[in-house]
Structures are given as structure tokens and as C-alpha cells.
Structure 1
Amino acid sequence: MSVPVEPPSQGITALRLHRQLAAIWATGPGVQRLTSVNHTVLGLRIMITSFVFFAIAGILGMLTRVQLATPHAAFMDVETYNQVFTMHGSMMLFLFAIPMVESFAVYLVPKLIGARDLAFPRLTAYGYWCYLFGGTILTVSLILHSAPDGGWFMYTPLSSNVYTPGLNADVWLLGITFVEISALSLAVELTVSILKIRAPGMSIDRMPIFAWYILVTAMMMIVAFPPLILASMLLEVERAFNLPFFDPTRGGDPLLWQHLFWLFGHPDVYIIFLPMAGVLSTMIPVFARRKLVGYRTIVVAIIALAFLSFGIWVHHMFTVGIPHLALAFFSAGSAIVAVPTAIQFFAWLATLSHGRPRWDVPMLYIFGFFFVFTCGGLTGVMLAIVPFDWQAHDTYFVVAHLHYVVARRARVSDARGVLLLAAAADRAHRRA
């Protein structure tokens, strides 16, 4: 689209400028719709695509439960089960949870900050197509029975050539790398947009609270995702060219993969949590019919949460034999991270207690979230204590904690919640 825009110095009116920019950013008919760079269209596309992958991952999850429902079940053979299990976790985390929160941000942020679009609309489109391409690679591999089968964390040396000689691990490395590049490009897009193209007069300390959550989340993504991209590249190079990055018999270290993976993986828990907390911080004042309690305190809390989340990745590795001093450090950090989360929780409760809550269906979802997320948070603090973690590591206690924390966040993000959040954002924008 190369529609010329006349410079303002030639006496162009605001209406004519608006029409010219609308012609540039408009979504054409038919096949031209695929070239759309409009943030609203792309936000909806990412949202719909992520829920398609969510449905597929949900079916895979049910298949694993069928296999595990009875002892010695012959529903799936070992190879098929490993692929289904790996794809369930990979799709839920990489193809649903992260893109779903990104879709909210892409759709809502320009509306919240008073911008016509995001700073680099073509970068947004690039991010979507990278995401779709990577997700398609993984989905097609499942159909062709060559899907990854080393677990959603793909620990080495299990995922090395010795134990996974086929293409299964390569498919995971290729697909996830494209998805992570997509997420990184959208994170850059959101960070620049919030910092540079806010409406005139909207200082950073007057932004809607959801914009603050997205800004902190996007900055976390910029730091957290490169380690996983690097790890994927190193493992693929090892598999393709027989280099010993993770091979202990030739001087490599399999724990290097765990460090790089969890440098991404633990902040990623809060990358998923913070936008959903932003949804709550936006919806609760609407249904409580009063202003959010502790705006600046919440901002400080989420910034502190972002910093702390990068210093506790080793609590996923308490049983690998690290020094006791490191165990103590990471255990303490893992417990302290509950403090900024609790600050947000009590701010929400204070907003409700000082307001006049309207008990519509979305409020029932919010209170359901409060209960289940409290269970997830308390079990997380339990797992932060080293002696308990040694007993519960690799058990269903950890699986339950993960699903309490991650899966319940998705319940807040149903379609009606998105629409209500958008309506609340529009009302807040009009009041401003």
C-alpha cells in the first residue's frame, strides 16, 4: 500500500489527513485481508488462532487422561502417548497461554493509550504470521506421527540425537523458535508503542492500569525469550552438526539446557499472570463501581514482581545437586515473590470492600479465580521450601500447582471478559 500522504505544511486539513491515513491502514476485500496490519484485526486473529490451538491441546489433554485412567491401558502405545503428552504441554504454554495474552494487548493497548495503531503495524503482522507458521509446523507433525516426544520442556540428554534420533525433537525446536520470535517481535512493538505514542497529556503515571501491566510484561518478554531461542539454536546445532553443547561425555553440560530453559520458563509464569491480573484490575473497579485502590502501589508491586521473577528460576532445579547456599538463596527468593502478588490481591479485595459490587456473571468468575488462584499460590510457596520440594518434585502435586496457577488464569480471559474489558477501557478513556 503506497498511498502518498501530503505533508501538513501544504495546508492539508485534519479530515483529509484522516482519510489518507485510513486508506493506508484499511483492510482490503477478499485476499487483501490477509495483508492487514490493523491492530484490531490482528488482535482478533491472534485471539482466534490461540483458542483453536487451545481446543486441540484440550483434546490431547483428554487423550492423556484416557490413557492414565486405568492401569496398563492399551489406548495408546508408548510412542504415541509421549507425542500427545508433549504436544499438550507445548500447545497450552507456547501456542495458547502466551499468544492469548498478547492478543489482548495488541487489541486493547492502542485504544487504551489513545493511539491510532501500534508503533510498527507491519511488525505486528509479522509476529502473527510467524506464530501461525510455528504452530502449523507443530500441528502438522502431530498428524504425520512425527511430533516431539521429549516432554514440553525437552530436557537434554533425552532430546539429544542419542535418545531421540528422529526428527521429533527438530520439529519442536523449529516450531517453538518461530513462536518465540513472534512473541519477541510483539513485545518490542508493545513496549515502543506504550512508551512513545501515548496520547498527548497522558503521562506514564496516568496510564490505565492495564497498560502498565502490558508494559511490564512486554519488557519481561524482551529479556526472557532470548534464552530459550538461544537454547533451541544450540540444541539444533548439536543435533545437526554433532557439537557437544549438552553432551557430558564430550565436555558439555545437560544442566545448561535447564538453566536456559527456566531463565525463560519461570518469568514466563508471570508473563502469563500479569496481563490476566491487569484484566482483573480493570474489570473489578467497573463491577465494584469505584476507583481502583492503590494504583501506584500496584505499579510498584508489578515492577518488583518482574525483577524478582528473573532471580528464582533455579527453584525448578532444586533436586539436580546445586550448592546449599544457592538452594537457600533461591528458596528465599521464591517465597518473597509472593509478596507483590499478595499486594495486588489485597488491592482487589479493598476495591470490592469499599465499593458497591454488582454481582453479575463475570464477578462470579472473578471470585472463582480468587479461590483457585489462592490454592495455586499457597502450593507454590510450599514448593519454594527445599525439603518439601525434594519430596514433591516430579509428583502430581507439582502438576496440580501448575494447573491451579496457569489454567485458572485462562478462565478470566473468556470471550465475554474480553468484551467487558474493552467496554471498561472505552468508558475509562471517555472519562479521561
Structure 2
Amino acid sequence: MAASASSSPAKGAPQSLSGLGPFLRPYRVQIGLAALFLVLAAVTTLVFPMALRSLIDGGLVTTDRGAQTMALRNHFLELFAVAVALGLFSAARFYTVSWLGERVTADLRNAVYARVLRQSPAFFESTQTGEVLSRLTADTTLVQTVVGSSLSMGLRNAVMGVGALAMLVWTNPYVMVQVLGILVLVVLPSMWFGRRVRKLSRASQDRVADSSAIAAEVLNAIPVVQSYTAEGREATRFDASTNAAFRTAVRRTKARSVLVAFIIIATSAALLWGLYQGTQAVLNGDITAGHLGQTVVYVIILASSAAVLGEVYGDLLRAAGATERLMELLHAKSAIVSPSNPAAAPVPPAGSAINFEAITFHYPSRPGTPALRDFSLNVAPGETVALVGSSGAGKSTVFQLLLRYYDPQSGRLLLDG
């Protein structure tokens, strides 16, 4: 699956998740089903306080003992029906969203891997293998967590929070408009904390990739490391890298903890103010006890939704950084580009002629040290030529240029003229 390049959003911003769009579009049906079950589960949760209000006002206030018993039985059956519906809708939502997360992550991992395989050797000189592996494993796991869990939880709690807030404003308009004004003030500091968490999330992923790169580099050359008895030095270098990743993760966790604590405390304070006003209304006889019970449950739903959204926002910020790094790989341009209309090379019976004309080439990792300088070589069809020289003289480079692993900085390489 290929993803088309698009204009990238601000670095590390939640909008970076828009890069997952091409991987989500083929599964519109599953997304639609997940959204349907999500809304049904949220609406069922919002119906529960209304059933509770009916229980209190209709089943507990009745003076006739027999009628009260029958009313209580009916109200509890209604509550049980709501619970059954909530369980079924939640299970269906969980399955569809989890399937979607696994499928999108597999497609993303395959697309990134296929893109990396098509990069020229110059790419692997500037990008360590361990870093690529980190993006294919750790970063895609973060994306899977968001698509298959966190995003669904966030959307469900957003629907529940908006619904609970709408019910509270409908039933207690004056008080809840005040609370809503206070909640708006909570958003501004949360945005500032969010930017901080976003930057640290990307930095944390980069440090983890650094550790993976060091491990891959050392383990791929373990005979060389052991021949120089450099195990202790390499262990110290890896330890320093993992400690740097740990320190960055701790800073990210501290910032995220402050963000979550602020959202929960500020939101709870605003909602408790509204609840206090509701109790005063009951004492004054303006609303019933069932109305107050309904208000209490809606307040709990709204407060818990705000708390979950605070945590989900942190997950989204981490996944945004991971998605951004994956999109960098997915949109990476190879230094070697095939022609749009390649022509088949003829295969002469006597062999082909090869001409190197004033070739100058240096590897991307060593731009200041030419591997070949003003190199010329003519090989006639059927001729056998041996390249002899000391290590580092450029023998392997000649064959790598012939295979077009690289393009020279100057000069021409001709096949049969």
C-alpha cells in the first residue's frame, strides 16, 4: 500500500496523525461500524442517569407499598436492560476498533518496510539500521495503541462528555453555563502543557532509536568488538544512551502528569461547584431528589470523560511523534531514481563495452574523502580486466558504481557507448 506525500503539519503536532489517512481509507466499512457501536455505547451510558432518576422519583417516592414494589421491579429491569445493551455495544466496539488497529498497523509496517527496501545504499550510510528497526517496531506499536484503543476511548468519552454536558445544561441551564465558562479557561493552559508533552514525546522516541542503533551496530560487528576487547566500552556507550532515553522519558512523564492532574483538578472543581448549586436547589424545592441523582451521575460521567480525554491526549501526542517519524521513512526519496521510461540494454553476443570517463566519487558518509578521483577505465567487449590495489583504493567502489548503487559526483559511466 502506498501513501501519497502531503504537506506536513507542524512538527510533532497531533495533525501528524493525518498521515495515517491513506491507511484508514480502505477500511471505511469497519470505521463506520466502529463509529456506530461507539455512539450506541455512549448513548446507552447517557440513558442510565435518566433511568436512575425514574427509579428514584417513581419507585421510591410512591406511598403504596405494593405499587412501590412493582415500580422498583420494573425500574431495575430497565436498568438491567441498559446494562446489557451497554455491554453488547462496548464489546462490538472493542472488537472492530482492535481489528482496525491491528490491520492498519500491519499495513503501515509493510509500507514502510517496502519503502526502505527501495532506498539506495546511500540511505543506509546516513540512517543506521537500528533506527529503522526502532521505527518499524516501537513507533508502529505506539500507532497501534492509538488506532486500536486510545482513539476509540477518546472519541467515546468525548461523545459521553458532550452528551452529559448537554443534559446538564438542559436541566440546569444557569449553573452549567457558569461551569462551561470555567471549563473554557481550563483549555488554554492544557494547550500549553500539550505542546510541551508533544516535543518531549518525539525526543523520547529519538533517544530510544539511538539505543537501538547502537545495539544493531555493535551486534552486527561483534567479532571486531571482541577482537579489540571493547565489550566494556560498548556496554558503557549503550548504558549512556539508555540513560539518556530514560531521562527524556521521565521529563515527558512529568509534563504529562502535570497535564493530567491539572485537567482532573480544574474540571472536578468546576463540576463540584455545579453540584453544590444542585443540592441547594433540592433544599429549596426547585428540583426533585431524582433530578439531583441524575445530575450527580452526569457530573461523574463528565468528570471521568475529562480525565480520560486528558490521558488520551497524551497518547495522541506520543503517537503523533511516532507517526511523524514513520512518515519521514515512508516519504523518503531514494538518491538513485530510475528513468520514467527505461530502455532495455542490448546484449551483444561478444559482450559489452564499459567506459568510465573522469569519474569522481565520494561516499555520502565521507564527503571530504574521494573514493575515486578523476578515474577513467575502458573495457572492451570480451576483455578481462583485473583491478589490483591496496585496501581502500576503490576496487569495490568501481563495481558499486557499475551496479549503480551510487551515482558519481562528476564524470560519466557508459555501457556500449
Q: Which has the larger radius of gyration?
A: 2
TM-score in same-fold range (> 0.5): no
Q: Judging by fraction of residues, say which structure has more strand.
A: 2
TM-score by length of 1: 0.29
Higher relative contact order (CA 8 A, sep 6+): 2
Give the TM-score of the pair, scaled to structure 2: 0.30
